Amino acid sequence: MAMKRKILQTSLFIILVIASFFFLIPIFLMLVNSFKTSAEMAGNSWGFPRDWTVENYILLIDFNRGLIVRTFLNSVYISVSYTALTLVVASLAAYVFSKLRFRGSNVVFVIFLATMMIPREITMPSIFLMFARAGLLNTYVIQILPGVANVFCLFMLKQYIDQIPNTILEAATIDGASRVRLYRSIILPLAKPALGAMAILVFLEKWNDYLWPSVLLTRREIMPIMVILPTLNVGTSMYAIPWNFIMTGCVIVTIPLIIVFLSFQEQFMSSVTIGAVKE
């Protein structure tokens, strides 16, 4: 029985290693091709560079008078602001629905969950008209504010806050803590694993967003980098695509995602393992 289990674990380990290898191939190609010239990439797209060069990074930074740098900073500002606002709104709403029950709270919560079934594309025309009449088109506001009330984030945080014992809040209330103090000093610290996991998912969603800004924005200087990267070219022809620049840009836009994951990986892993072991 022990030998059979060991063989099964070894086989599973080998399968996971092989699967990981296939998942890492695109990342490997993206990284090594960012250090190749356009000519070498055309003839040697799968191997290591013969002559390593950082010229692609220098040229990309100077491309179109620093447009890539500007749009990269736009993405950082938009994604960080959106993530912070989303977590604040979702955590407050989750606290209310979980611990501060009111009449009809379950009905309201179900209605909120039902909105998740509405495709995003259906709401885009109405939101566009609303922001157009408010004079907020081609601004950072239209890239940050819509979607801050994230129902999925609300749902996940509520499920986590439901596990916090009410006795802790009752004891703090007896000691004179207000509802704001309960939220700030008890709910937020105890919900750190869920908040960390949601921070990664929300930041990833906003950082990779392409449809919303590409439809609603016309000024290139306020666009995120994900909209600008696919439009890079070195000539008048649509086929003159500098793939070495594209690969270099992909490496650059991957760095913030790695930083965010490393910053919240402890909370993310804690949220994954909660409930896995019963004492």
Which domains are assigned to the chain? 35-273 (1.10.3720.10)
Task: Pick the closest to residue 270 from 201, 198, 197, 199 (CA basis).
Answer: 197
For 177-221, the pLDDT digits (tens) are 898 999 999 999 999 989 999 999 999 999 999 988 988 888 888
Cα separation, 82 vs 196, in Å, equals: 15
Helical ranges in the chain per DSSP H = 2-33, 38-43, 55-62, 67-99, 105-114, 120-133, 141-144, 151-161, 166-174, 179-182, 188-190, 192-207, 211-216, 225-228, 243-273
Question: 148 with 86: CB under 8 angstroms?
Answer: yes
Residue 246: per-residue pLDDT: 86
Residue 276: per-residue pLDDT: 46
Summarize the confidence of residues 15-19 as an average pLDDT: 92
CA quadruple 15, 16, 21, 24: dihedral positive or negative? Answer: positive
Residue 279: per-residue pLDDT: 42
The yes-or-no verdict on residue 237 having pLDDT over 80 is no
For 97-110, the pLDDT digits (tens) are 999 878 888 899 99
Question: 264 with 200: CB under 8 angstroms?
Answer: yes
**pTM of the predicted structure, to 2 decimals:** 0.86
Residue 100: per-residue pLDDT: 86
Summarize the confidence of residues 137-149 as an average pLDDT: 90
Q: Where does the pLDDT of residue 277 fall: very low under 50, low under 70, confident under 90, or very high at 90 and above?
A: very low
